[in-house]
Amino acid sequence: MTYDYLADSRIDPRISRLLATLRQGPSRDVASYEEFVMAANSAKNVAFNEARRGFMAAIDTEEAAPSTGLDISCHEFAAQPDGNTINVQVYRPKGEQIVPCVYYIHGGGMMSLSAHDGNYKAWFRSIANCGVAVVAVDFRNAISPSSVPEVAQFPAGLNDCVSGLRWTVENAERFGIDRERIVISGESGGGNLTIATTMSLLRSGEVSLVKGIYALCPYIAGSWPQDDLPSSIRNEGILLQLHNNNALVGYSEEAFRAKNPLAWPLFATVEDLVGFPPSVIQVNECDPLRDEGVTFYRRLVQAGVTARCVELMGTTHGAETMIWAVPEITQAAAAAIANFASN
């Protein structure tokens, strides 16, 4: 059943009107990873995704987020340990000044979308226009290709994100990036990978490469609904339909059963999080994922981490990147992320 956005008085009316135009299919389980990949990459879904990318390209305008004053470049390199090629985009203010950096990981449930989609490019310009560099990584999605053709399940995407962070540090001087002020950020699946990348660096003794993390609406539980995450019940169907097995089959059911926090960070114990850098977890009031973000924030605090949790009232999942619908929310979020990197 399609959610009745217009009847939910909690949601900003601009967001309600936008989401009411979306056509949501029923929530369905998938039989296997192979079937999931085949269905997601069928001619029908490829055509749908092309149409979606066309819409996103149409909103990627100078009015939405100007490129004047920015240097924008694209690069590729071989990731480790698999030797596959991944792409990064670099956005930074023009000039020779050394600037902080936001290493950004796009959303899509670790399974779809691309940092080259128009909405993301406008979002990155919005952040960079606040006086920081943005390095946006396109990793191997688990189901549908990003700007790289391969798809692979966990830990492929995580490995690419860790490799991209190391590449950013190694190339800091080349792009005028302050090595001491690099933060990781991302929304939804990118919020998962923001946390997992940091946890991976902590385990390898490299967490000092990162000044902090700013995770937006992190997608970290792996299975829904859960009684101790009430938003996963009350907010089901608001943009996301999570009451199915898609996340587990698509990303890694094996890692879920093993309670591996690198795949599903809500499994992280307090002990796993000791030594994390300063962290901000941002959640949306009307999001099925709201309560897992809040729970993770509380666990960070229990681990002695300097952490804050920000809730955006009236917003749905990932509203921060809806630059065409709620521009002042986008600009405020971009400024907050840039400020976190800068100070």
Can you tell me the distance from the alpha carbon of 41 to that of 210, in angstroms, rounded to the nearest whole number? 36
Total domains, the chain = 1
CATH number for position 125? 3.40.50.1820
Q: At what angle do helices 156-170 and 189-203 cross, to 10 degrees?
A: 70
Q: Provide the pLDDT for residue 231.
A: 98
Closest among 150, 109, 151, 87 to 263, alpha carbons compared:
109
pLDDT tens, residue order, the chain (343 aa) = 689 999 999 999 999 999 998 877 778 999 999 999 999 889 888 888 888 888 888 889 999 999 999 999 999 999 999 999 999 999 999 999 999 999 999 999 999 999 999 999 999 999 999 999 999 999 999 999 999 999 999 999 999 999 999 999 999 999 999 999 999 999 999 999 999 999 999 999 999 999 999 999 999 999 999 999 999 999 999 999 999 999 999 999 999 999 999 999 999 999 999 999 999 999 999 999 999 999 999 999 999 999 999 999 999 999 999 988 999 999 999 999 999 999 9
Can you tell me the distance from the alpha carbon of 189 to that of 250, in angstroms, rounded to the nearest whole number? 12
Host domain of residue 238: 5-342
